[in-house]
Structure 1
Amino acid sequence: MSARRFAVAGATGRLGSHVVDVLVERGHEVVPMSRATGVDVITGAGLAEALAGVDVIIDVASWHASDQQAATEFFRTAARNLHEAGQKAGAGLLVAVSIIGADKATAGFLVSQQTHEEAVLAGPLPARILRAAQFHELVGQLLDWQQGGLVHVPRLPTQLVAARTVAEAVVDLATDPDAPSPGTPIPEIAGPREEIMSEAAELLGARRNVKVVGVDEAPDAELAAAGAFLPGPHARLAGPTFREWLDAQH
């Protein structure tokens, strides 16, 4: 496929940096968009200039706090601004990343992803969404947020996936000439096997000399325990496992 021009919102973030790397490795031109590059998807500052001549917009900008209302407003505003500026710039496609189970959530951060998906699909540009499982990298964040030698982590089933693996999947979706057919499930990407979040945290905690205690309290804990946030049968599964990824980091 011939090289195209991509704009990546959230380009300096945990997922965005990998998306930029994958696009460059595949020979595409990339316009990285973040506040660090002078582009703000919320205020719109620098957005029109960044999107000039762009073929595809990839939205992996994220909100780094747990407040549901603030996160919802962030995603709604970002999607609207990307659609409006992208349409004016002549972009042909908007691709965004969401989280597996967002459509089932009733509480917490995942609910904001429902709004994100709705806003992405409701705009004027043709749009595609990729739902991803929680990243391997999230486990370290859970330990960092609590700090100290004892942390509590939800004992929830998940199918942890590496951010690099998600980046490869979102670039595949953004460069696929055939859009997913109407009525088909939203594509999903997840790790190769089911894992328990607290057990993954214990593996990392052992290397950091941090004691991890698994707990049952979490938003939508009953739904999660029943597997509501695990990938569906159509999901793309790809390694490494959390332990393999952790070994590679150390």
Structure 2
Amino acid sequence: MRIAVAGGTGTVGRHVVAVARERGHDVVILSRSTGVDLMTGSGLARAIDGMAAVIDVASVSTQSAKKSIEFYETTTNNLLSAEKTAGVPHHLALSIVGSDRAPFGYYAGKQRQEQVVSAGPVPCTILRATQFHEFAQQLFGQMRFGAITLVPKMISQPVAAREVGERLVTLAEGQPAGRPADLAGPEELRMAHMVRAYAEAIGAKGPILEVPLPGGFGKALRDGTILPGPSADHGVQRYADWVAAVRRR
């Protein structure tokens, strides 16, 4: 089948593309590097012509609720409009566990994305997943100031990005499923411990300090609001295994 992947060069997108191609699917990546601008819709209609499914894993780097909402509302509407015109029968979106319970900052945009997709004209599947193992790596890069790294106080149940990619492709191979079971990792971990393990694996020195974030979002990170419920599915790769792979590289 022919599958288009919005954000196919990102953390999850590259796994979606790899898994789909391993399974014999014809994959088109929707990104600026391939001549598609999701914010303007430029190049989109041509790129998705004849697709059996569109998997949206595009993302934006921001903690601003306004910017996140603007990005996801705009790109999602552009995708759905083009898909309706092209007759694409299945739209899949990747969201975050807890986005409906903690609609703050970046999560506010994911909540809006879910609303637009659910009310849209294309049959859909929305998969919520927890943070990826790579999130610790991203935090280390973004929150390092000299030799000091600041990490928000939070509890996570991280899942392998590869396993998220596998689940999305499996869902794309089936019929639109609405809201299937959430996908989480096999264990709960403190984010500070995850970042420390990553720093050790790459040989980085310096203190890593856990800082409680203020407001409702900070509370949600600390009190388990963003953790999966009892009905969630669980991946198998443990964070320690991912860190070990980073160390070997």
TM-score bracket for the superposition, by shorter chain length: over 0.9
TM-score by length of 1: 0.93
Residue 208 of structure 1: SS of its match in structure 2?
A: coil
Please state how far the C-alpha of 1:205 moved relative to its aligned partner: 2.2
Q: Structure 1 stretch 219-228 or stretch 232-241: which is displaced more?
A: 219-228
Tell me which residue corresponds to 1:169.
167
Alignment of 1:78-227 (within 5 A): 78-147=75-144, 148-177=146-175, 179-180=177-178, 186-206=180-200, 207-217=203-213, 220-227=217-224
Count of equivalent residues: 243
- Contact 2:213–2:219 (CA<8 Å) still a contact in 1? no
Identify unmatched segments of 5+ residues in structure 2: none
Identify unmatched segments of 5+ residues in structure 1: none
Please state how far the C-alpha of 1:187 moved relative to its aligned partner: 2.4
- In structure 2, relative to structure 1, the CA distance for the partners of 1:77 and 1:246 (3 Å cut) is same
- Contact 1:192–1:237 (CA<8 Å) still a contact in 2? yes
Please state how far the C-alpha of 1:152 moved relative to its aligned partner: 1.1
Tell me which residue corresponds to 2:67.
70
1:57 to 54, 57, 60: 54
Distance 1:15 1:117 in 2: 18
Distance 1:190 1:64 in 2: 22
Sequence identity (%): 40
Alignment of 1:18-57 (within 5 A): 18-57=15-54
Backbone CA RMSD of aligned residues: 1.4
Q: Which amino acid aligns with 2:199?
A: G
TM-score by length of 2: 0.93
- Contact 1:93–1:125 (CA<8 Å) still a contact in 2? yes
Please state how far the C-alpha of 1:214 moved relative to its aligned partner: 1.1
Residue 46 of structure 2: SS of its match in structure 1?
A: helix
Residue 42 of structure 1: SS of its match in structure 2?
A: coil
Please state how far the C-alpha of 1:178 moved relative to its aligned partner: 6.5
Q: Which amino acid aligns with 2:187?
A: R
Distance 1:210 1:236 in 2: 36
Q: Which amino acid aligns with 1:72?
A: I
